[in-house]
């Protein structure tokens, strides 16, 4: 030892050995590379739902909560002076309202909120309003998009209702075939808490034959719905998804009749939209209609009758510029009726349709599309009366559409559609048709995500949230 | 016909008096009468006066009498000489006039009959050519201005042509020739000014009365300025002459100025004095600071005395317009301020505010440097110090590397909260609740930085490299004697990967520790090696600074404690008191940070955290990075950057003579790297332990480095070897600087950080209400709560809101409805802010929440407001203990500061400083 220390190189050797030892410690203790743990969102039942049926007068209102939630809860249906309460999941509440009823709020809490769905369907066999006109009762929101015929093609009425406790400032933006419509009356609509109002869109923008309408609030929230009464028939325009680069318009029935697609590019730049139809036997670009050019701020109509009519379908639009889209379904017969479907989200967490019927004259079709990957779906019927039939399993191959004719009790039923885990995204729609004298009555509704579940994101308290992430 | 009475006032001045008297008696124009006054001398001055003027011409005064009193006494007794123009010639005992002085003075008096006061040109007693003054004036700050440069030699450059006289505001009382009628008319020198500025006051009054005051440049007198230079004890007052001079200058100014001008001057001087006090404190000249305060205080707190003096000077104020043009120009004030800064930077003489009594400050003190310092320019003086050169160079490197960080909006990112708020916010936070103690340190620094927290943080963080270089250079002067090695060591230390990593990641805690680490090393050496008293002081100082560092990065304390224990084991037996001193050094942080450390003990993981936002680091730091002192993370260079340092440090092991020191250094380094490994594997950034390791290596290598100088002087192979070693050694700092500049200080730290709090929320939040900030991150959502403003540094360490709150936030973000929003409102949340990128699902969830309303939504941010009732969060209940603890902590800091303060004017540091100077010469 002593010789080692006295040697000129002894100390160097000792230090080098020590360094080697430290290196070894550091090397051994180095943990294996850990894959970044990505916390998955957790599904949680929805605790409260509030929805508004925009114009229930003369229509049948259906409200239902699928029977899968645990615990207790209550649904309150604010039917004028005699509010109804339901506290039993799986039970349909249905009532035909007297005409002139104000917008109705359906509010559910606890277990009853999990999957609450409400819809109104009006049926008239004669007169101006002849036809089937149904709409899913809407959630109050800050932003809503509608695509369909314009005020020049018929009466378009915008139903606005503010059921919140704060006032709502509503602004309307109308896009026509010629571009965005600048209108004085389009802004400054103030709805006090509890107030509801019907806006005749002719007074806002009289000229568009086709239109895309954006209802947005500066503050507060509003429940918005658009009723279209054209020469071809009446129906409600369903809310479409917000402008996006990929829009799926599901729910084209396999029955005859004209199909007309509306595409709007509400942004600042023109859009080149690729159109594809997802049919029973595959997904195709339509001949000669592979792409549509949509000038910025305007709406373009595309007749899809040849190629799509007679086949259940979903239309997939892709574009670099965000677009919104809607689709008109025209019934057959001497006096026609129309129905509208629109861009819809995938129903990953399931979907509920409140109102469906199946009688001798009425056919309810469920059209399900899996444009990306194969999907397995369970369809359950919730009858108004009687025992529920066994669920139906439906397998949809990738890039295919399937149509299911819903056969249930005559008194009406609700439909619960639940994709199985591992399925690809599923889009769908429900179409109801009625054979009637003079011509077919029709109404459609794209499937919306059920209000059953919500995804609770992983959340952490972190003081460093004051800083934006380095880009 | 003139009749001149020379009055020589003596007070313990026999050293000079003999020459003075000889000169008075040898005048070519002899004095008519000579009178001596002895102010109670104890050194035989009285006898000397008696010999010169005769026993009866000597007046005996008590010891405490002032100069003015003495002259008054003589003039009162002096019989009038009828028919003649009578003159009084005042002479100090240390002021010897030239043989022809009186002749020239009287000649000038003949030429300009309206003259009442004349004075000779004064030169230094010892350095006979050195100019002291040619008449004086006064600045508006009360400063006595001679108008001369420091140490100006008389080459006739101030001699007035053609007649050799200059109109001046005042002349010194040394050699002052006064017409007696004017003396009588004005009441003579003011006896209330016993020592200084009596001449200025009298001449001011003479000027204001319409008389002329002349400096006669042909007449010369040599003056020793014995009182102001403290060559003798002053009996007239117990105070330091500097304080007296300052006090009397202010007094004279206030007494003679017209009322409104005086008020303005009073305000100005009060403010000026306070600033100077602070500067003196910063310059570690507490005695000057006390003098400054005492001087302005004695004027401010004796208004009656001032009123009496002003009453007696009515005439002087009336003639203010005659005096005003004689003041020194205002531009001179700025020049003086600049000189003060220069002196401060270059480490020149102490600052001076009273105005040097004469042009020379400390003759003799600089005599040795005289020949070297013929060019006294500021830059040259400053750059003569390698430390300053290094600092400037490192600053330039830092500026080049941080070019994108220097200007712009809020600084933030990494571990640094966007720096907002001022010193008052920090103080309010610190005194309002149990805040981490480093907030207090930052509050103090912000207060010094004019209340601007951003300035203090920028200096600490962005200036981390030059500051640590400077601290390494200065702190090691006591034990690394070879100066080039010190420069190398400081440069290498300042540019270690730890330093650049600290800057890039905004780790202000590590930055403070990194700057302080060399100081710890220096103080620890003193504690272990110094004699009793300095060692004790160093221990207190080490304790205090250790408390500061521990507050910023608690892990520091663990290392110091371990090393301290080792030191106590190895030195405890050798030197008495080492154990006690180490106990002091390690105990002070425990006491000063007591309650905070207690909270850390409860949650030991926090010992790994440092000041600022928690920021994890990869636990997979490569072993080779650890061995090359590279802590990894943003802003650190490739691992080969420190290769030169390691090579030199390994090479130093081969030097036999220093093997022990170098081995100890390597020991510290290896312990540091081991600790760094442990810390790093716990996902903590190992900056502090690696800085320790580097310090060990650098100090031991630098200690051995003077051998390189020996090699250089040798020839052949050894010389080449020395050259190679220097090349390798300097490769590390040069490479680090180059890489740093090339890569820029690139990292999470950046400028123009967007305020996390929307303006509306900031404006509309009521006290107790919070804004929930939700951000989308890779791992999901993160949130924090802001309380009506951007959080100040340290607020992020508040207690967490807890899992209930987190669940409510998750529920709100999921849009499941229910009571989540109400639960948040019940905890004081009034706003929910979501900065871009806004997750559409989150936006939908917030939009669909019935009890919330959207305020704004743009591409950059969205803001929602609770519409329901918001229960303001109750501020934490006033903790009685907290208040008492703050008082206690403040008192403890003051006590430790006093105990750590250097003793009164000891010269120990200079003694040490001389060694390197000698060594350098050897090296050169």
Which one of B621, B624, B813 has the shortest CB-CB distance to A457? B813
Statement to judge: residues B101 and B160 lie in one domain: yes
Per-residue pLDDT averaged across B170-181, rounded? 89
Nearest to A219 among B613, B623, B853 (CB): B853
Cβ proximity of A462 and B784 under 8 Å: yes
Cα of first residue to Cα of last residue in chain A, in angstroms, is 57
d(CA B139, CA B605) in angstroms, rounded, equals 61
pLDDT category, B921, cuts 50, 70, 90?
very low
Residues of B in contact with A224 (CB under 8 A): none
B779 interfaces chain A, CB cutoff of 8 Å: yes
**Cα of B13 vs its chain's centroid, Å:** 38
Distance CA A119, CA B270 (A): 82
Give domain status of residue B723, yes or no: yes
Q: Is the pLDDT of residue B241 over 90?
A: no
Q: Identify which of A46, A141, A219 has the shortest CB distance to residue B855.
A: A219
How much is the average pLDDT of B677-695?
A: 89
In this prediction, residue B355 has a pLDDT band, given cuts at 50, 70 and 90, of: very low
Contact A22 B847 (CB under 8 A): no
The confidence band for B365, taking pLDDT boundaries of 50, 70 and 90, is very low
pLDDT value, residue A328: 94
Q: Give the confidence band of B908 by pLDDT, cuts at 50, 70, 90.
A: very low
Alpha carbons A269 and A323: distance in angstroms, whole number: 11
What is residue A386's three-state secondary structure? coil
Which positions ≥6 away from A28 have C-beta within 8 Å? none
Interchain CB contact of A192 with B (< 8 Å): no
Continuous H helices in A302-356: 305-308
Q: How many CA atoms lie within 13 A of B295 on its CB side?
A: 35
pLDDT the model gives residue B230: 63
Measure A241 CA to nearest chain B CA, in Å: 12
Helix (H, G, I), strand (E, B) or coil at B887: helix
CA-nearest of B758, B750, B746, B745 to B410 is B750
Contact call for B811 and A143, based on CB within 8 A: no
The pLDDT of residue A158 is above 90: yes
CA distance A258 to chain B (A): 35
* Cβ atoms < 10 Å from Cβ of B585: 26
| Tokens (6 digits) for B905 | 């004017």
Beta carbons of B479 and B913 less than 8 angstroms apart: no
Q: Hey, of A26, A322, A348, which one would you mutate to test binding to chain B, going by the most B CBs within 10 A of its CB?
A: A26
Contact B653 A470 (CB under 8 A): no
Strand order in the sheet with A427-434: A400-406, A362-370, A427-434, A441-446
The whole-angstrom distance between B613's CA and the closest CA on chain A is 6
Q: In this structure, what DSSP letter does residue B738 have? A: H
Q: Is the dihedral of CA B458, B464, B465, B470 positive or negative?
A: positive
Strand A453-456 relative to strand A42-45: parallel, antiparallel, unpaired?
A: antiparallel
Q: Is the pLDDT of residue A189 over 50?
A: yes
Selected residue of B632, B761, B784 to mutate for chain A interface (largest A Cβ count, 10 A): B784
Final residue belonging to a domain, choices B236, B271, B303? B236
From CA A327, how far away is CA A262, in angstroms rounded?
Answer: 6
Find the residue in B nearest to A223 (Cα). Answer: B848
Does B210 lie at the interface with A, CB-CB under 8 angstroms? no
For residue B920, the distance in angstroms to the closest alpha carbon of chain A comes to 28
The rounded distance, in Å, linking the Cα atoms of A452 and B543 is 63
Contact B814 A50 (CB under 8 A): no
Instruction: Pick B619's closest partner by Cβ from A31, A50, A140.
Output: A31
Tell me, yes or no, if A459 comes closer than 8 A to chain B by beta carbon: yes
In angstroms, the CA A173 to CA A159 distance is 15
Answer whether A421 touches B (CB < 8 Å).
no
- Report the predicted TM-score, pTM, of the whole model to 2 decimal places: 0.65
DSSP calls for B358-390: SS-S-TTTTGGGTTTTSS--HHHHHHTSHHHHH
Percentage above 70 pLDDT, chain B? 89
For residues A276-299, b (16+ Cβ closer than 10 Å) or e, as one string? bbbbeeebbebeebeebebeebbb
Which pLDDT does position B906 carry in this prediction? 37
Euclidean distance between CA atoms B204 and B193, whole angstroms: 14
Interface membership of B209 toward A (CB under 8 Å): no
Q: Answer yes or no: do B734 and B687 share one domain.
A: yes
Residues 663-722 of B with CB under 8 A from A: 663, 666, 670, 673-674, 677, 681
The nearest alpha carbon in chain A to B848 belongs to A141
Q: CA of B776, closest CA in chain A: separation in Å?
A: 9
The encoded tokens of residue B354 equal 């009273």
The verdict on residue B641 lying in a domain is: yes
**Cβ contacts from A onto B, under 8 A:** 216
Do residues B589 and B706 both lie within one domain? yes
ipTM above 0.90, yes or no: no
Q: What is the pLDDT of residues B631-646, one digit of tens each?
A: 888 888 888 888 888 8
**Set of chain B residues whose Cβ sits within 8 Å of the Cβ of A49:** 817
Please indicate, yes or no, if residue B362 is contained in any of the structural domains: no
Q: Where are the domains of chain A?
A: 42-456
Q: Please list the alpha-helical segments (H only) found in B347-480.
A: 378-383, 386-401, 423-432, 438-448, 453-462, 464-475
Q: E strand or H helix at A176, and its extent?
A: strand A168-176
Using the CB atoms, write b or e for A184-202: b if 16+ within 10 Å.
eebeebebeeeebeebebb
Same-domain check for residues B660 and B734:
yes
Are residue B541 and residue B493 in the same domain, yes or no?
Answer: yes
Q: Which of B617, B810, B856 has the highest number of chain A CBs within 10 A, making it the mutation to test binding with A? A: B810
Does residue B579 carry a pLDDT above 60? yes
pLDDT at position A376 over 70: yes
Condensed to tens digits (0 to 9), the pLDDT of residues A318-374 reads 999 999 999 999 988 888 899 999 999 999 888 999 889 888 899 999 999 999 999
pLDDT at A272: 93
The residue of chain B nearest to residue A164, with distances taken between CA atoms, is B850
Please indicate whether residue B907 or residue B276 has the higher confidence score (pLDDT): B276
Quick check: A79 pLDDT over 70? yes
Which residue in the block uniquely carries the two structure tokens 């010389």? B719
Residues B839-846: what's their mean pLDDT?
84
Query: Computed from CA positions of residues B184, B187, B191, B193, in that sequence, does the dihedral angle turn out positive or negative?
Result: negative
> Who among B613, B801, B805 is closest to A464 (CB)?
B613
Asked if the model's pLDDT at residue A432 lies above 80, the reply is yes
Looking at the fold, whether B44 and B159 belong to one and the same domain comes out as yes
- Identify all chain B residues contacting A27, using CB atoms and an 8 Å cutoff: 623
3-state DSSP assignment of residue B764? helix
User: Is B315 touching A (CB cutoff 8 A)?
Assistant: no
Domain end residue (candidates: B866, B883, B911): B866
**Nearest CA among B515, B507, B916, B534 for reference residue B747:** B507
Please check whether residue B819 touches A, CB under 8 A.
yes
Instruction: State how far the Cα of B71 lies from the Cα of B73, in Å rounded to an integer.
Output: 5
Q: Which residues contact B750 (CB under 8 A, 6 or more apart)?
A: A470, B404, B405, B411, B412, B413
Q: Which residues of A touch B623 (CB under 8 A)?
A: 22-23, 26-27, 30
Distance from CA of B456 to the nearest CA of A (A): 20
Judged by CB atoms closer than 8 Å, whether chains meet at B619 and A41 is answered as no
Residue of A nearest to B697 (CA): A15
Residue A158, min C-alpha distance to chain B (Å): 20
Q: Which residues does chain B have within 8 Å of residue A50's beta carbon, measured at their own beta carbons?
A: 817, 850
pLDDT in tens, B53-68: 888 888 888 887 888 8
Judged by a CB distance cut-off of 8 A, whether residue A1 touches chain B is no
For residue A146, pLDDT over 90 is answered with yes
A25 touches chain B (CB under 8 A): yes
Domain housing B29: 2-236
Q: Is residue B190 part of a domain?
A: yes
Residue B298 is assigned to a structural domain of this protein: no
Which of A11, A218, A461 minimises the CB distance to B653?
A: A11
Residues B486-524 pLDDT 10s: 888 899 999 999 998 888 888 999 999 999 999 998 888
CB neighbours of residue B573 within 10 Å: 10
* A127 — pLDDT class (breaks 50, 70, 90): confident
> Under 8 Å CB-to-CB from B736, ≥6 apart: which residues?
B492, B495, B496, B497, B500, B637, B641, B642
Q: Does A4 touch chain B (CB under 8 A)?
A: no
Chain A closest CA to B868's CA: distance in Å?
9
* Chain B residues close to A29, C-beta within 8 Å: 677, 681
What is the residue whose two structure tokens read 């009322």? B259
Mean pLDDT for chain B overall: 81
Query: Residues for chain B: how many in total?
Result: 924
Same domain, B501 and B394: yes
β-bridge partners, A42: A456
- The CATH number given to whatever domain includes residue B30 is 3.90.550.60
Domain edge (last residue) among B743, B770, B796: B743
For the stretch A43-60, what's the b/e string if a residue is b when 16 or more beta carbons lie within 10 angstroms of its beta carbon?
ebbbbbbbbbbbbbebbb
Three-state DSSP class for residue B825? helix
B815 CA to chain A: closest CA distance, Å? 7
Q: List, as own/partner pairs, every contact residues B45-53 make where C-beta atoms lie below 8 angstroms and the sequence separation is at least 24, other chains included.
A: B45/B10, B45/B11, B45/B12, B45/B13, B45/B14, B45/B17, B45/B93, B46/B10, B48/B10, B48/B14, B48/B17, B48/B18, B48/B21, B49/B8, B49/B10, B49/B17, B49/B21, B51/B21, B52/B8, B52/B21, B52/B24, B52/B25, B53/B8
Residue among B613, B818, B842 whose CB faces A48 most closely: B818
The dihedrals phi and psi of B730, each to the nearest 5 degrees, come to -80, -10
Give the residue among B10, B99, B95 at the shortest CA–CA distance from B57.
B10
Residue among B204, B241, B240, B248 at smallest CA distance from B225: B241
Q: How far apart are CA A6 and CA B192, in angstroms?
A: 77
Q: Taking 90 as the threshold, does the pLDDT of residue A427 lie above it?
A: yes
Tell me if B79 is assigned to some domain: yes
Answer whether residue B80 shows pLDDT above 70. Answer: yes
| B 396-435 near A (Cβ less than 8 A) | 412-414, 417-418
Q: Tell me how many domains chain B contains.
A: 3
pLDDT for B350 equals: 45
Q: Note whether A220 contacts B: Cβ–Cβ < 8 A.
A: yes
Nearest to B900 by CA among B416, B586, B533: B533
Token pair, residue A31, equals: 């943990």
Least confident of A60-69, A372-381, B661-670, B706-715: B706-715
């Amino acid at each position: 030892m002593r010789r080692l220390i006295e040697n000129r190189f002894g100390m160097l050797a000792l230090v080098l050995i020590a360094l080697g030892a430290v290196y070894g410690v550091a090397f051994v203790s180095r943990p294996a590379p850990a894959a970044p743990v990505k916390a998955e969102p957790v599904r949680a039942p929805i605790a409260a739902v509030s929805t508004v049926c925009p114009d229930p007068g003369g229509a049948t209102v259906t409200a239902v909560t699928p029977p899968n939630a645990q615990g207790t809860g209550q649904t309150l249906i604010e039917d004028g002076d005699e509010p109804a309460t339901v506290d039993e999941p799986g039970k349909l509440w249905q009532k035909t309202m007297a005409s002139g009823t104000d917008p109705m709020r359906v509010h559910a809490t606890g277990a009853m909120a999990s999957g609450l769905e409400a819809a109104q369907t009006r049926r008239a066999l004669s007169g101006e309003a002849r036809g089937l006109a149904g709409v899913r009762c809407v959630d109050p929101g800050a932003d809503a998009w509608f695509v369909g015929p314009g005020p020049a093609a018929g009466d378009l009425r915008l139903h606005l209702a503010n059921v919140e406790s704060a006032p709502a400032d509503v602004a309307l933006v109308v896009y026509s075939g010629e571009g965005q419509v600048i209108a004085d009356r389009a802004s400054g609509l103030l709805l006090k808490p509890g107030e509801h109002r019907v806006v005749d869109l002719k007074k806002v923008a009289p000229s568009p034959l086709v239109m895309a309408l954006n209802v947005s609030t500066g503050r507060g929230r509003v429940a918005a719905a658009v009723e279209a009464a054209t020469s071809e028939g009446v129906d409600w325009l369903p809310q479409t998804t917000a402008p996006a680069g990929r829009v799926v318009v599901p729910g084209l029935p396999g029955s005859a009749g004209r199909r007309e697609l509306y595409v709007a590019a509400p942004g600042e730049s023109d859009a080149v939209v690729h159109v594809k139809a997802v049919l029973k036997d595959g997904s195709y670009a339509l001949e000669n209609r592979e792409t549509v050019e949509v000038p910025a701020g305007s709406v373009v109509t595309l007749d899809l009758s040849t190629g799509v009519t007679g086949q259940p379908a979903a239309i997939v639009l892709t574009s670099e510029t965000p677009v919104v889209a809607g689709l008109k379904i025209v019934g057959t017969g001497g006096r026609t009726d129309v129905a509208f479907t629109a861009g819809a989200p995938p129903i990953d967490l399931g979907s509920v349709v409140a109102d469906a019927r199946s009688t001798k004259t009425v056919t309810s079709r469920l059209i399900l599309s899996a444009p990306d990957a194969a999907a397995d779906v369970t369809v359950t019927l919730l009858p108004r009366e009687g025992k529920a039939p066994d669920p139906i399993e439906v397998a949809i191959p990738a890039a295919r559409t399937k149509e299911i004719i819903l056969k249930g009790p005559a008194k009406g039923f609700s439909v619960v559609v639940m994709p199985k885990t591992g399925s690809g995204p599923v889009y769908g729609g429900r179409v109801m048709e009625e054979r009637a004298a003079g011509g077919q009555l029709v109404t459609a509704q794209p499937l919306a995500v059920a209000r059953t579940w919500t995804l609770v994101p992983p959340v952490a308290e972190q003081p460093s949230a004051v800083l934006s992430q380095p880009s | 016909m003139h009749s001149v009475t020379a009055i020589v006032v003596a007070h313990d001045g026999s050293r000079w008096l003999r020459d003075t008297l000889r000169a008075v008696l040898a005048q070519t124009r002899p004095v008519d009468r000579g009178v001596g006054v002895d102010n109670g001398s104890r050194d035989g001055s009285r006898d000397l006066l008696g010999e010169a003027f005769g026993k009866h011409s000597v007046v005996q005064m008590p010891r405490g009498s002032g100069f003015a009193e003495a002259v008054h006494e003589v003039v009162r007794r002096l019989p009038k000489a009828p028919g003649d123009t009578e003159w009084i010639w005042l002479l100090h005992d240390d002021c010897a006039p030239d043989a022809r002085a009186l002749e020239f003075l009287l000649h000038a008096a003949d030429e300009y009959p309206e003259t009442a006061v004349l004075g000779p040109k004064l030169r230094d007693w010892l350095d006979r050519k050195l100019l002291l003054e040619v008449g004086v004036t006064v600045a508006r700050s009360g400063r006595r201005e001679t108008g001369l440069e420091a140490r100006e030699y008389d080459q006739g450059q101030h001699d007035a042509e053609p007649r050799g006289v200059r109109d001046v505001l005042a002349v010194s009382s040394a050699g002052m020739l006064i017409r007696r009628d004017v003396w009588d008319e004005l009441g003579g020198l003011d006896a209330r000014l016993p020592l200084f500025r009596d001449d200025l006051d009298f001449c001011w009054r003479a000027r204001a009365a319409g008389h002329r005051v002349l400096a006669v440049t042909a007449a010369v007198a040599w003056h020793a300025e014995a009182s102001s230079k403290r060559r003798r004890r002053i009996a007239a007052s117990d105070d330091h002459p500097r304080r007296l001079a300052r006090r009397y200058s202010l007094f004279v100014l206030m007494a003679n100025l017209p009322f409104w001008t005086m008020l303005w001057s009073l305000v100005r001087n009060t403010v000026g004095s306070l600033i100077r006090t602070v500067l003196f404190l910063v310059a570690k000249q507490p005695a000057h600071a006390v003098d400054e305060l005492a001087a302005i205080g004695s004027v401010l707190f004796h208004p009656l005395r001032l009123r009496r003096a002003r009453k007696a000077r009515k005439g002087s104020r009336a003639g203010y317009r005659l005096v005003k043009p004689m003041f020194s120009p205002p531009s001179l004030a700025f020049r003086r301020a600049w000189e003060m800064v220069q002196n401060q930077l270059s480490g020149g003489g102490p600052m001076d505010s009273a105005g040097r009594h004469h042009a020379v400050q400390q003759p003799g003190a600089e005599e040795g440097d005289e020949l070297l310092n013929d060019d006294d320019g500021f830059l040259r003086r400053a750059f003569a110090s390698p430390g300053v050169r290094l600092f400037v160079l490192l600053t330039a490197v830092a500026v080049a590397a941080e070019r994108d960080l220097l200007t712009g909006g809020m600084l933030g990112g990494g571990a640094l909260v966007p720096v907002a708020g001022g010193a008052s916010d920090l103080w309010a936070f610190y005194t309002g609740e149990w805040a981490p103690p480093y907030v207090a340190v930052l509050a103090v620094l912000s207060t010094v930085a004019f209340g601007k927290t951003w300035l203090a943080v920028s200096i600490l963080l962005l200036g981390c490299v030059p500051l640590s270089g400077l601290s390494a250079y200065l702190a090691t002067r006591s034990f690394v004697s070879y100066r080039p090695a010190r420069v190398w060591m400081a440069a290498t230390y300042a540019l270690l990967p730890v330093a650049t990593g600290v800057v890039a990641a905004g780790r202000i805690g590590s930055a403070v520790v990194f700057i302080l680490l060399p100081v710890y090393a220096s103080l620890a050496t003193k504690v272990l090696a110094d004699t009793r008293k300095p060692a004790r002081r160093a221990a207190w100082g080490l304790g205090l600074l250790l408390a500061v560092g521990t507050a910023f990065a608690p892990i520091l304390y663990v290392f110091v404690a371990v090393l301290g224990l080792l030191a106590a084991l190895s030195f405890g037996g050798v030197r008495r008191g080492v154990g006690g001193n180490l106990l002091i050094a390690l105990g002070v942080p425990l006491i000063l940070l007591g309650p905070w450390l207690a909270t850390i003990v409860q949650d030991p993981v926090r010992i790994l955290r440092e000041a600022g936002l928690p920021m994890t680091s990869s636990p997979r730091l490569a072993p080779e990075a650890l061995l090359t002192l590279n802590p990894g993370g943003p802003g650190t260079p490739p691992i080969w950057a420190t290769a030169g340092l390691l090579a030199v440090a390994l090479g130093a092991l081969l030097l036999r003579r220093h093997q022990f020191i170098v081995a100890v250094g390597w020991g510290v380094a290896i312990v540091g790297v081991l600790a760094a490994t442990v810390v790093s594997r716990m996902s903590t950034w190992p900056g502090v332990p690696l800085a320790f390791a580097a310090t060990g290596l650098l100090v031991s290598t630098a200690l051995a480095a003077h051998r390189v100088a020996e090699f250089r002087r040798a020839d052949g192979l050894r010389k080449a070897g020395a050259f190679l070693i220097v090349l390798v050694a300097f490769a590390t700092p040069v490479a680090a600087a180059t890489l740093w500049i090339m890569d820029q200080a690139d990292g999470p730290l950046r400028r123009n950080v967007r305020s996390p709090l929307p303006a509306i929320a900031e404006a509309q939040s009521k006290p107790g209400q919070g804004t929930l900030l939700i951000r989308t991150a890779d791992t999901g959502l993160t949130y924090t709560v802001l309380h009506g403003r951007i959080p100040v540094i340290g607020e992020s360490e508040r207690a967490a809101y807890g899992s209930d709150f987190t669940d409510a936030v998750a529920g709100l973000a999921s849009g499941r409805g229910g009571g989540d929003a109400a639960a948040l409102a019940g905890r004081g949340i009034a706003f929910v802010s979501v900065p871009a990128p806004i997750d559409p699902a989150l936006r939908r969830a917030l939009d669909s929440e019935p009890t919330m309303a959207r305020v704004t939504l743009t591409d950059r941010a969205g803001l929602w407001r609770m519409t329901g009732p918001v229960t303001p969060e109750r501020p934490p209940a006033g903790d009685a203990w907290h208040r008492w603890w703050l008082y206690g902590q403040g008192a403890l800091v003051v006590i430790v500061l006093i105990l750590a303060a250097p003793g009164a004017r000891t010269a120990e540091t200079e003694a040490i400083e001389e060694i390197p100077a000698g060594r350098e010469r050897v090296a050169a």
